[in-house]
Amino acid sequence: EAQVTQNPRYLITVTGKKLTVTCSQNMNHEYMSWYRQDPGLGLRQIYYSMNVEVTDKGDVPEGYKVSRKEKRNFPLILESPSPNQTSLYFCASSLSKIKADTGELFFGEGSRLTVL
């Protein structure tokens, strides 16, 4: 089954404790992206990757890191989490760049992170 898998789905952590949210897709997609969703703000892009070893900042990259060592994986790293990073995070992938007829995004089910 084609899917985007995120782990963990739920996490409560404390300020400053490094954490990683994993994302894996099995569709051989080139494009991957991380979004955060907050009430009243919709989805905002954190980072994206057009291909292996190619990553770039989205609209809200501060406090986050990513890597793309393999095509299927795109982990999101919070080196020193803070309470303002409490949010619902979504990983998404696409066959190609967004501005293309194959540019639809496939989303994971989300990871709800709480930072105390």
Partner 1 sequence: AQSVTQPDIHITVSEGASLELRCNYSYGATPYLFWYVQSPGQGLQLLLKYFSGDTLVQGIKGFEAEFKRSQSSFNLRKPSVHWSDAAEYFCAVGGYSTLTFGKGTMLLVSP
Whole-number Å distance between alpha carbons of 79 and 92: 21
CB of 15 to partner 1, least distance (A): 27
Candidate residues 98, 113, 115, 116; the one interacting with partner 1 per rule CB under 8 A: 98
For partner 1, which stretch binds (CB under 8 A), given 12-20, 40-48, 63-71, 79-87?
A: 40-48
Asked if residue 97 binds partner 1 (CB under 8 A), the reply is yes
- Percent of the chain that is helix, strand, coil (3-state, to 5): 5, 50, 45
State the Cα angle at 59 between 53 and 60, rounded to 5°: 90
**Which of the 8 DSSP states describes residue 80?**
S
Interface residues with partner 1 (CB under 8 A)? 4, 31, 33, 35, 40-45, 48, 50, 56, 58-59, 90, 92, 97-101, 103-110
